[in-house]
């Protein structure tokens, strides 16, 4: 054989040495491979989105997440990093924020989109999924449409990607439910949203709203529920099966169990505030699951968070982990570009079932 490994190695070695003598602006930089390819994007209604989105519940929430307006610069850097790495789905809600900061999450998202310095095409492909709260004073379709218009004004955008009903009122105010459904239809027909979805809908109500919207000529494109290795009970798996059968995309919120699946907390090291109380009740019973996560993470050279998020992706959902810092975003991005094996999925799910504690389900989720 004529060709050997030595020849190309020597060639690149010489090039590299010469490269060091050039100004930094002229130096050769190998192309950066994407974390996922275009064909790996996921269809949600008429839109194509990244296999993972980012949640913005913490943006404006002082009570649970310790938000302070001094964090906005870091949040903007976090947003830019996500966009630059192909993330184009961002989830928010008109109720995100506490006190005078209600709506802050939407305001920041709109600001960051306007100020993004990248290509216009990249900015135009951003999909905002916002949720409209089923407040007791939103009793008519028109009031729900006005809520959508208010979100558009806060974000200063012309159209929302996915307009979502934040929760069902079927358990406590059934008459209001139909008005909210008609509100979704109206905002879709008026072109205020490209698609509609729901959040915190259990199996029975999910089928009901799907059939109702279908009869009105409006496709239900997404259902957002708490779904993770801590939330894989019968209801959640039934919701997933219904979504698969009806062509609804499942968006999994809290894929890290509010942080319990990150491996950063122990019974003696708990977060401050309300989360600390919740964690103290659940973490002591998660040893089988956390040990399994840790073992796979070490073998894969990944973090426990990346393993937990990747599990959601492998189950066919779009996880939307929350991000507050560049460091968190960088770690979460590491969940892309690889897949757990079938054996690893089974190992994690067995460990989750063997763990005596589970995540408390959202009280707003219907049956």
If residue 178 lies in a helix (H) or strand (E), which one and from where to where?
helix 174-189
Is-contact 352 285, C-beta < 8 A?
no
Catalytic residue among 96, 201, 253, 265, which? 96
Is-contact 27 62, C-beta < 8 A?
no
Q: How far apart are CA 89 and CA 48, in angstroms?
A: 9
Q: How far apart are CA 242 and CA 153, in angstroms?
A: 34
Is-contact 307 293, C-beta < 8 A?
yes
Does the annotation count 96 as an active-site position? Answer: yes
Strand, coil or helix: 95: coil
Q: How far apart are CA 75 and CA 112, in angstroms?
A: 9
Strand, coil or helix: 27: coil
Q: What is the dihedral sign for C-alpha 188, 193, 196, 199? A: negative
Residue numbers annotated as active site: 96
């Amino acid at each position: 054989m004529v060709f050997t490994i030595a020849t190309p190695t020597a060639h690149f070695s010489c090039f590299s040495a010469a490269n060091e003598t050039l100004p930094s602006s002229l130096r050769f930089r190998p192309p950066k491979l994407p974390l996922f390819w275009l064909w790996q994007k996921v269809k949600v209604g008429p839109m194509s989105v990244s296999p993972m989105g980012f949640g913005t519940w913490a943006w404006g929430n002082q009570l649970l997440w310790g938000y302070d307006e001094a964090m906005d610069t870091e949040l903007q850097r976090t947003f830019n990093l996500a966009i630059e790495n192909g993330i184009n789905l961002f989830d928010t809600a008109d109720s995100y924020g506490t006190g005078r900061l209600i709506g802050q999450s939407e305001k920041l998202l709109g600001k960051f989109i306007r100020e993004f310095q990248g290509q216009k095409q990249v900015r135009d492909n951003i999909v905002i999924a916002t949720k409209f709260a089923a407040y007791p004073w939103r009793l008519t379709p028109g009031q729900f449409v006005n809520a959508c218009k208010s979100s558009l004004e806060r974000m200063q955008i012309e159209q929302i990607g996915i307009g979502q009903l934040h929760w069902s009122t079927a358990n406590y105010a059934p008459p209001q439910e139909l008005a909210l459904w008609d509100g979704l239809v109206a905002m879709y027909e008026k072109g205020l949203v490209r698609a509609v979805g729901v959040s915190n809908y259990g199996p029975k109500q999910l089928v009901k709203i799907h059939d109702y919207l279908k009869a009105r000529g409006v496709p239900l494109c997404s259902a957002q529920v708490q779904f993770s290795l801590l939330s894989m009970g019968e209801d959640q798996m039934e919701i997933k099966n219904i979504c698969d059968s009806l062509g609804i995309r499942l968006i999994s919120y809290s894929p890290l169990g509010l942080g319990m699946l990150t491996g950063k907390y122990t019974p003696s090291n708990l977060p401050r505030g309300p989360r600390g109380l919740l964690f103290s009740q659940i973490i002591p019973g998660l040893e089988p699951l956390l040990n399994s996560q840790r073992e796979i993470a070490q073998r894969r050279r990944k973090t426990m968070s990346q393993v937990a998020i990747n599990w959601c992706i492998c189950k066919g959902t779009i996880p939307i982990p929350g991000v507050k810092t560049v460091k968190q975003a960088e770690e979460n991005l590491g969940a892309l570009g690889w897949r757990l094996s079938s054996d690893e999925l089974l190992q994690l799910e067995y460990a989750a079932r063997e763990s005596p504690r589970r995540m408390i389900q959202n009280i707003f989720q219907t049956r």
